[in-house]
Amino acid sequence: MNATEFNFLASLPSIAPEVGLTIMAMVVLFLDLYLPESQRRNIAYVAGAGLALLAITPLIPGWAPPADGNLLFWGGMVRHDVLSQIFKVMILLAGAITCFMSIDVKDIGRKGEFYLIIIISTLGACLLSAASDLIMVFLALETMTIPLYILATFKRDDSKSAESGMKYFLFGSFASAIMLFGLSLLYGFTGQTNLYLIAEYITSSQFIPNAIPVLGAMVLIVVGFGFKISAAPFHFWTPDVYEGAPTPVTAFVSVASKAASFALLVRFFIAVFPSALVIGDQHLQDFWVQLMAVLAVVSMVVGNVVALSQRNIKRLLAYSSIAQAGYTLIGVAAIQAQTLEGQTQAVASVGFYMFMYTFTNLLAFAVIILFTEATGSETIKDLAGLNRRSPWLALMLTIALLSLAGIPPAAGFFGKFFLFNAAVQANLTWLAIVGVLNSIVALYYYLVVIKVMYVDRSPDEDKPIPMSISYVWVLGVTALVVIVLGTVGAQPIFDWAMRSAGSLFS
Amino acid sequence: MQLLNEWAFIGVFFAIAWVFPLLPIAGSWFLRPHKPNAIKQQTYECGVETVGDTWVQFKVQYYIYALVFLVFDVEMVFLFPWAVAYKQLDWFAFGAGFLFIFLLADALIYAWRKNALEWI
């Protein structure tokens, strides 16, 4: 961080989406206050279209990260680099799609507050993906999660929704406290709050070389991250929250908060504990990389094995999301690669996986929203005969599940391919093999759902599931993105992810 | 060792923090006469005997009132240093303060329009 003079206008592009989100939050607030009951559907359109428009702002050429390499803005609070760019785009699109698929949901679709809180949570997630200061990390984390606690309880009359919000709040604040303790220890050892200055201080001669306390702080921070990305063994909140929360909220929690947390995870560990960092004769990177590998294995095994016995589709996707966090952690563990090329590839595979996972999961949840709004059921058995009821819906859910399972031509195939490839390049072949074995286990429970939709019969087959135009768009766009990412779009997006990864190491 | 000496202050403060309240409590325990009777051992709540069950449900309006109050309570904490340093601030900091007030005013309008300030 250089002591360059503060230039307001030059600093603005680094938080352009956040400024837009703040303005949008106010617009939605006033729409909620002054729109008559008959026009309340428009709030969702305004919020969704606004978020989708803001997703373009990080891509405006004039607002791209500066070429002179001075990427820290606002006193080192945020880092304006390609990593924040790619994650902001995916988070904003996730927010937009969530708005569009909440329109017809009972008790939610016409409430302005719902969209307001989604926007504020998106704001926190965007800041989180760019945060480069301990204070900003915690502030953004709370700006993202506190609205999520509220959203989980949004169906006030539903006891399950209240339960899920309460559990989310208790687990979440506990994890935040543990993480904050870790962050404060890190500050205590170094006297620095900027992520990039912490590593600098640790390597300087002022620091008393003792690795044990720093490792303690690292473990506490890993616990906090583990909770946010729902990695086992910090996953206990996930199934209950996913099941109890209103389905659009589940969709948003499963993609936006996870993507933002992964963005921060790779940024944080690469910045604070880089491979060059040695305390005494201990390479700190070896420790956190091994922690990530262990978390990855535990998450994949727990997620996939427990998912096998689920009867509720939302619970199934909750355990599946735990397993997906495990796959993604393979990419984080692969940062131990010896070459810079390998490290960049590892981070890029995480970015790409989150990008494709965002759209895949939103597609799956959009179908589930339509299905539960029409039938009131969330059990897998009731999906029987969906192919005869609404063939398009069945096809969409099939695409999403195949993508989650990692079967071409859906995007999940390339997502897993890049992750496992990065692991092999980093001499973590055993981890890649565990990943492949887990994918085979996962294939079973995804295929069971597809079998129920296409083979099983039900007496309701002559009742098609109604859907409004907004849902047609959501399903069409997300399904198209999933297919494109699995075919021609994989290379350009992976190149973008490579550039974003490269920006972390410069 | 230098580091340890610096941190030792906190240990000293910690010990003093314990002694400080314990000393008067212990002192009064030794000095005071000990003669309990029925009237003295009654439940004491603001000088009045409690009526009915103490586990009553509060009106939810209390919480909304408290929340709205808290917003402006915290606003004061943030605005006070801003107002004190007012003369040395540049235009950016000046605008930031007003932006902060503006956002809070937004929230107040919302609460007002939603009838949160009305006592039903």
What is the residue type of A332?
Answer: V
Give how far Cα A357 sits from Cα of A36, A258, A320, A482, B86, Å.
37, 10, 11, 9, 49
Residues in chain A: 506
Two structure tokens written together for A317: 């996707």
| CA–CA distance, A131 with A263 (Å, rounded to integer) | 10
Q: Nearest C-alpha of chain A: how many angstroms from B54?
A: 25
Cβ atoms < 10 Å from Cβ of A364: 27
Structure tokens at A432: 């890649």
Q: What is the dihedral of CA A219, A224, A225, A226, to 10 degrees?
A: 80
CA angle A102, A103, A108 (to 5 degrees): 65
Instruction: Give the up-direction half-sphere exposure of residue A311: CA atoms within 13 A in the CB hemisphere.
Output: 4
Which of B3, B92, B110 lies nearest to residue A33, judging by beta carbons? B110
Say which DSSP state A496 is in. H
Query: Is A275 in contact with A267 (CB distance < 8 Å)?
Result: no
pTM: 0.88
Position A238: which residue type? T
pLDDT of residue A211: 80
CA dihedral A483, A485, A489, A491 (to 10 degrees): -140
Sequence-distant (≥ 6) Cβ neighbours of residue A99 within 8 angstroms: A44, A47, A48, A51, A115, A118
User: What tokens does A488 get?
Assistant: 């021609």
**Strands, E assignment, A104-165:** none
From chain A, which residues contact B within 8 Å (Cβ)? 6, 8, 22, 26, 29, 32-33, 208
Torsion of CA A281, A282, A286, A288, to 10 degrees: -160
Output the pLDDT for position A130.
Answer: 92
- Parallel, antiparallel, or unpaired: how do β-strands A278-279 and A78-79 relate? unpaired
CATH architecture of B2-113: Up-down Bundle (1.20)
Q: How far is CA A208 from the centre of its chain?
A: 37
How many Å lie between the alpha carbon of B72 and the closest alpha carbon of chain A? Answer: 19
Rg (CA), chain B: 25
Confirm if A57 and A12 have CB atoms less than 8 A apart.
no
Contact at CB, B114 and A33, closer than 8 angstroms = yes
List of chain B residues whose C-beta atoms are within 8 Å of the C-beta of residue A32: 110
What value, to the nearest 5°, has the Cα angle with vertex A495 and ends A433 and A362? 70
Alpha carbon of A33: minimum distance to chain B alpha carbons (Å): 7
Inter-helix orientation angle A211-228/A258-272, to 10°:
170
Q: Which of B3, B92, B106 sits opposite A29 (nearest CB)?
A: B106
- List the structure tokens of A381: 């058995």
B113: chain A residues, CB-CB within 8 Å: 33
Q: What does residue A376 show for φ and ψ, rounded to 5 degrees?
A: 75, 10
Per the DSSP assignment, residues forming a β-bridge with A79 are: A72
Q: Which residues contact A253 (CB under 8 A, 6 or more apart)?
A: A148, A151, A152, A241, A242, A245
Q: Give CA–CA dist A333/A10, Å, rounded.
A: 36
Can you give the pLDDT at residue A3?
Answer: 46
Closest chain A residue to B112, measured at CA: A33
B29 to chain A, closest Cα gap in Å? 39
Structure tokens at B64: 């909304």
Q: What angle do CA A211, A133, B6 make, to 5 degrees?
A: 50
Helix (H) / strand (E) containing A72: strand A72-73
Please enumerate in sequence order all residues whose Cβ is within 8 A of that of A378, keeping only pairs 6 or more positions apart, or say none: A243, A312, A313, A314, A368, A372
Distance CA(B27)–CA(B110), nearest Å, equals 54
Q: Radius of gyration (Cα) for chain A, nearest Å?
A: 22
Handedness of CA A70, A74, A77, A79 (dihedral sign): negative
Instruction: Count CB atoms within 10 A of the CB of residue A299.
Output: 29
3-state secondary structure A192-261: CCEHHHHHHHHHCCCCCCCHHHHHHHHHHHHHHHHHHCCCCCCCCHHHHHHHHCCHHHHHHHHHHHHHHH
Per-residue pLDDT of chain A (506 residues; tens, 9 = 90+): 444 567 778 888 889 999 999 999 999 999 999 988 888 889 999 999 999 999 999 888 888 888 777 888 888 899 998 999 999 999 999 999 999 999 988 888 888 899 999 999 999 999 999 999 999 999 999 999 999 999 999 988 889 999 999 999 999 999 999 999 999 999 988 888 999 898 888 888 777 777 888 888 999 999 999 999 999 899 999 999 999 999 999 999 999 999 999 999 999 999 998 888 888 777 888 889 999 999 999 999 999 999 999 999 999 999 999 999 999 999 999 998 888 899 999 999 999 999 999 999 999 999 999 999 998 889 999 999 899 999 999 999 999 999 999 998 899 999 999 999 999 999 999 999 999 999 999 999 999 999 999 998 888 888 888 888 999 999 999 999 999 999 998 999 999 999 999 888 87
Provide, as residue numbers in chain A, all residues whose Cβ is less than 8 Å from the Cβ of B3.
208
Q: Do residue A8 and residue B110 have CB atoms under 8 angstroms apart?
A: no
Residue B56 has pLDDT above 50, yes or no: yes
User: ipTM of this predicted complex?
Assistant: 0.78
Q: Give me the residue label for tokens 């929230």.
A: B107
Long-range pairs of A203-208 with CB within 8 A, sequence gap ≥ 24: A203/A276, A203/A277, A203/A278, A207/A279, A208/B3
Per-residue model confidence (pLDDT) at position A13: 87
Locate the domains of chain B by residue range.
2-113
- At residue A283, φ and ψ (nearest 5 deg) are -85, 110
The C-alpha atoms of residue A398 and residue A402 are separated, in whole angstroms, by: 6
Short-list A432, A430, A425, CA closest to A338: A425
Neighbours of A255 (CB within 10 A): 27
